[in-house]
Amino acid sequence: MRKAALFYNPLSGRRKKHRVKDVEAAVAILRAAGIEVEVAPTKAASDAAAQVRMAIRDGFDTIIACGGDGTVHDVLQGLVGTDAALGIIPLGTANAMAHDLRLPISCERAARALLTATPKRIAVGKIEYRDFNNNPNSRYFTVAAGVGVDAHLFYKLNRLIKGLLHQGNAPVVDAPDALLRGGVLEKW
């Protein structure tokens, strides 16, 4: 890691009052180690992929998602298929992926861990679907994917309820009338 773009969601997760302070602490650790770091808030979930692609085009070799599973998911959409590495500094509510990867939950410890981390390839799934306007679309995922009622409920639940229900647990794929085949969700 020589040049890292750190993206954070200013509105998500735990410790919102301390978000900027947590991000600044992580950045200070990275910069003290000689890493060139640029910091930017994600503008919206739909814009994060474009922000990531622009950073990679500008020569950033590492993209750091500083947030929770939603921030990681949003950043992932612009990262898949590139040579850039993904770093995670968990500041979300549940941090399922960070837990699965056994990353430190402390912002400072996670930043220090990035300094000695060896990039590894991880499995990424892809769901192809039609949006509410019946347009074809796709999304990449890492930890879990939900469809049908599960996806609808997560879309509708507020952050507090989602955090209480899934603190430390990843939701599972709930697809009674679909089959995940070759990374593509198909009807039976």
Q: How does pLDDT run across 67-92, given as a tens digit for each residue?
A: 888 899 999 999 999 999 999 999 88
Clarify whether residues 108 and 178 are in a common domain: no
**Phi (first) and psi of residue 140, to 5 degrees:** -95, 155
Report pTM: 0.78
Clarify whether residues 21 and 101 are in a common domain: yes
- State the pLDDT at residue 76: 94
Please tell me whether residue 148 adopts helix, strand or coil conformation. Answer: coil
Clarify whether residues 95 and 180 are in a common domain: no
The more confidently predicted of residues 97 and 113 is 113
Residue that terminates a domain, selected from 57, 92, 116: 116
Query: pLDDT by residue (tens digit) across 107-135?
Result: 999 999 999 999 888 889 998 988 889 99
Clarify whether residues 40 and 106 are in a common domain: yes
**Phi (first) and psi of residue 84, to 5 degrees:** -70, 145
Query: pLDDT by residue (tens digit) across 12-44?
Result: 666 666 788 999 999 999 999 999 999 999 888
Residue that terminates a domain, selected from 94, 116, 138: 116
Clarify whether residues 14 and 68 are in a common domain: yes
Cα–Cα distance measured from residue 106 to residue 71, given in angstroms and rounded to the nearest whole number: 17
Clarify whether residues 22 and 112 are in a common domain: yes
Please tell me whether residue 95 adopts helix, strand or coil conformation. Answer: coil
Clarify whether residues 68 and 138 are in a common domain: no
Report strand pairing: 136-141 vs 125-130: antiparallel
Clarify whether residues 150 and 77 are in a common domain: no
* Domains: count for the chain: 2
Clarify whether residues 85 and 143 are in a common domain: no
Domain that holds residue 168: 125-187
Helices 45-57, 69-79: crossing angle, 10 deg rounding: 50
